[in-house]
């Protein structure tokens, strides 16, 4: 028999001051080859107005690394009076952008926190890495292996987006305004991705006072066995669509000259598959879980850009799972797209907003374009331990 698992606290760390659209290149640096129309069109499509970078704009130097961002989020957790990171039994950390290839990101976070011996886990991937971290902690508690756990999602995306690190392949003569998804191939990531971390404290009992979020289920569907790679870093795409990793380069010089460490996106694949695979995953999961759209009080989607909002809505409507926009909750415009941390950032704001009521159900949605994977999580609001 499994134990129930509750999210009893959430915290967020967003570094430095918010960066407005007009300030992005002041922080990341300028690439003269980018047509101004590209930037304007990308920002118009993603609807992000503010984001955060772990970079000092006056020096261009990093103010935090990824492990430090994550540790700061964990240190802000306060599920009960006197809580310290030393109370953590399981520390599970997910990220797209670890500071080092090895050891694992979780180990580096544990080092920053200076915690006593505990179970530490690192989950890799892209946006779903924050959710696989959460699911690991949930399963540990549900199985009785532990009574609490802290999970995290974090990103240092600016490390890929700096002018001196970032190269483009966009055709400056392309009609980006008429086909904005084509420009994603080059620099939509630069105008969208940002830095930050989120953390959640999970336990086998709810808060005795105030609200908790009971985890009803977490389901994921990956279409990696059927579809080609869409978003990747650390390699290059071959003519047949396969990916060759950086290890296959002849030398470190070839890795640098080939710009193999940069983040790349095949936007033709993105436009072709991200929405319809979401519909397939949602239809499969809701049928399995016998969930109806009218059962959902709050819908928390992490979409990378406002560009996809209406497209996801339409496919939900087509499969008979329409959730009206008034039930949607997102903070993308003023926190930015923080990858694996975004769902934590969305949940944290709603959790602490005072809007949630006992018995309400929250459906969280997290897509990942790496090789087309989707996660849905259902939560129920618990009040005063009941």
| Domain co-membership, 236 together with 305 | no
1 in a domain, yes or no? no
Distances, alpha carbon 2 to alpha carbons 144, 146, 282, in Å: 7, 12, 25
| Domain co-membership, 89 together with 162 | yes
pLDDT cut 90: percent of the chain above it? 80
Structural domain for 235, as ranges: 231-262
Over residues 301-325, mean pLDDT: 96
| Domain co-membership, 276 together with 250 | no
Predicted confidence at residue 265, as pLDDT, reads 85
| Domain co-membership, 310 together with 379 | yes
**What are the tens digits of pLDDT across the range 330-357?**
999 999 999 999 999 999 999 999 999 9
**What are the tens digits of pLDDT across the range 171-216?**
444 554 444 444 444 466 788 899 999 999 999 999 999 999 999 9
Over residues 240-257, mean pLDDT: 91
| Domain co-membership, 60 together with 188 | yes
- DSSP code of residue 330: -
| Domain co-membership, 288 together with 372 | yes
Over residues 60-87, mean pLDDT: 97
pLDDT band at residue 37 using 50, 70 and 90 as cut-offs? low
| Domain co-membership, 221 together with 338 | yes
pLDDT band at residue 33 using 50, 70 and 90 as cut-offs? low
Global model pTM greater than 0.85: yes
Strands (E) across the chain are located at: 6-13, 19-20, 50-51, 90-95, 119-123, 148-156, 195-203, 211-222, 231-233, 235-237, 243-245, 263-265, 298-301, 361-368, 373-383
Q: How many domains does the chain have?
A: 3
| Domain co-membership, 144 together with 221 | no
| Domain co-membership, 148 together with 243 | no
60 in a domain, yes or no? yes
Predicted confidence at residue 170, as pLDDT, reads 46
| Domain co-membership, 126 together with 138 | yes
pLDDT cut 70: percent of the chain above it? 92
- DSSP code of residue 92: E
| Domain co-membership, 163 together with 247 | no
| Domain co-membership, 144 together with 37 | yes
CATH number, position 355: 3.40.47.10
């Amino acid at each position: 028999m499994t134990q129930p698992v509750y999210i009893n606290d959430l915290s967020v760390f967003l570094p430095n001051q918010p960066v407005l659209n007009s300030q992005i290149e002041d922080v990341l640096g300028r690439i003269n080859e980018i047509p101004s129309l590209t930037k304007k069109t990308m920002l118009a499509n993603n609807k992000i107005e503010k984001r955060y970078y772990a970079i000092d704009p006056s020096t261009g130097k990093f103010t935090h690394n990824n492990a430090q961002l994550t540790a700061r989020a964990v240190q802000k957790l306060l599920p009960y009076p006197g809580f310290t990171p030393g109370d953590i039994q399981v520390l599970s950390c997910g990220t797209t952008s670890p500071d080092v290839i090895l050891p694992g990101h979780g180990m580096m976070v544990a080092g920053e926190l200076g915690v006593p011996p505990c179970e530490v886990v690192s989950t890799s991937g892209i946006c779903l890495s924050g959710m696989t971290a959460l699911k690991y902690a949930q399963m540990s508690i549900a199985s009785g292996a532990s009574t609490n756990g802290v999970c995290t999602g974090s990103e240092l995306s600016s490390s890929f987006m700096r002018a001196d690190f970032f190269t483009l392949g966009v055709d400056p003569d392309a009609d980006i305004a008429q086909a904005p998804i084509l420009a994603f191939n080059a620099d939509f990531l630069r105008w969208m991705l940002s830095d930050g971390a989120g953390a959640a404290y999970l336990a086998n009992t709810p808060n005795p006072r105030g609200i908790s979020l009971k985890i009803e289920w977490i389901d994921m569907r990956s279409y990696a066995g059927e579809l080609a790679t869409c978003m990747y870093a650390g390699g290059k795409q071959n003519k047949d669509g396969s990916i060759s990793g950086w290890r296959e380069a002849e030398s470190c010089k070839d890795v640098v000259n080939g710009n193999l460490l940069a983040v790349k996106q095949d936007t033709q694949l993105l436009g072709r598959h991200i929405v319809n695979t979401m519909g397939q995953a949602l239809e499969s999961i809701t049928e399995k879980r016998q969930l109806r759209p009218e059962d959902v009080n709050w819908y928390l989607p992490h979409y990378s850009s406002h560009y996809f909002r209406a497209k996801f809505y339409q496919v939900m409507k087509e499969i008979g799972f329409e959730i009206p926009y008034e039930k949607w909750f997102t903070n993308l415009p003023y926190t930015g797209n923080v990858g694996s941390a975004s769902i934590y950032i969305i949940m944290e704001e709603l959790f602490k907003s005072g809007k949630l009521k006992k018995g309400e159900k929250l459906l969280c949605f997290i897509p990942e374009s790496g090789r087309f994977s989707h996660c849905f999580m259902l939560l129920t609001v618990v009040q005063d331990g009941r």
